[in-house]
Amino acid sequence: MITLIGILVGLLIFSLFAPGRVRRGDAGRRLAEMYSLDTTRTLSELKPETLAYKLLAGGVRLQPLSFRLLSIGAGLACSVIAWPFLPGLPAGILGIAAGILPTILLNEKVKSRGREIDQRLPVAVGRITAGLLSGGSIQDVLQRTGESLNLEGPNPLTPELWLTAAELRSKDRQEAFRNLAARSPSTSLANLAYLLDGYSEAGGGKYTEVLLQISQRVQQIIIARNRSIAKAADAMLSARIIPLVLIVVFVFLTRDPLIHEALWRLPVQLVIAAGIGLMATGYAMMHSIVSEAV
Q: Is the pLDDT of residue 32 over 50?
A: yes
Domain that holds residue 131: 117-220
Assessment of whether the complete model's pTM goes beyond 0.75? no
Q: Is 112 exposed, middle or buried (0-12, 13-18, 19+ CB in 10 A)?
A: middle
Residue 213 lies in a domain: yes
- Assess if residue 160 is contained within a domain: yes
Q: What is the pLDDT of residue 148?
A: 93
Are the C-beta atoms of 92 and 79 separated by less than 8 Å?
Answer: yes
SS3 178: helix
Higher pLDDT, 1 or 58: 58
Least confident of 84-98, 103-117, 239-253, 269-283: 239-253
Domain count, the chain: 1
pLDDT recorded at residue 226: 66
**10 part of a folded domain:** no
Task: Classify residue 57 as exposed, middle or buried by CB count within 10 Å of its CB (0-12, 13-18, 19+).
Answer: buried
Cα–chain center distance at 289: 17
Average pLDDT score over residue span 257-282 = 78
Residue 111 domain-assigned (yes or no): no
The conformation of residue 259, written as its DSSP 8-state character, comes to: H
Domain assignment of residue 251, yes or no: no
Q: What are phi and psi of 206, to 5 degrees?
A: -65, -20
One-letter amino acid at 170 equals: S
**CA pair distance 193, 189, nearest whole angstrom:** 6
Q: At 235, is the pLDDT very low, low, confident or very high (cuts 50, 70, 90)?
A: low
**Does residue 228 register a pLDDT over 80?**
no
30 within a domain of the structure (yes/no)? no
Specify the higher pLDDT residue, 110 or 25: 110
DSSP string, 98-137: HHHHHHHHHHHHHHHHHHHHHHHHHHHHHHHHHHHHTT--
Rounded mean pLDDT of 113-118? Answer: 84
Q: Is residue 178 part of a domain?
A: yes
For the chain, the 3-state helix, strand and coil shares in percent, each to the nearest 5, are: 80, 0, 20
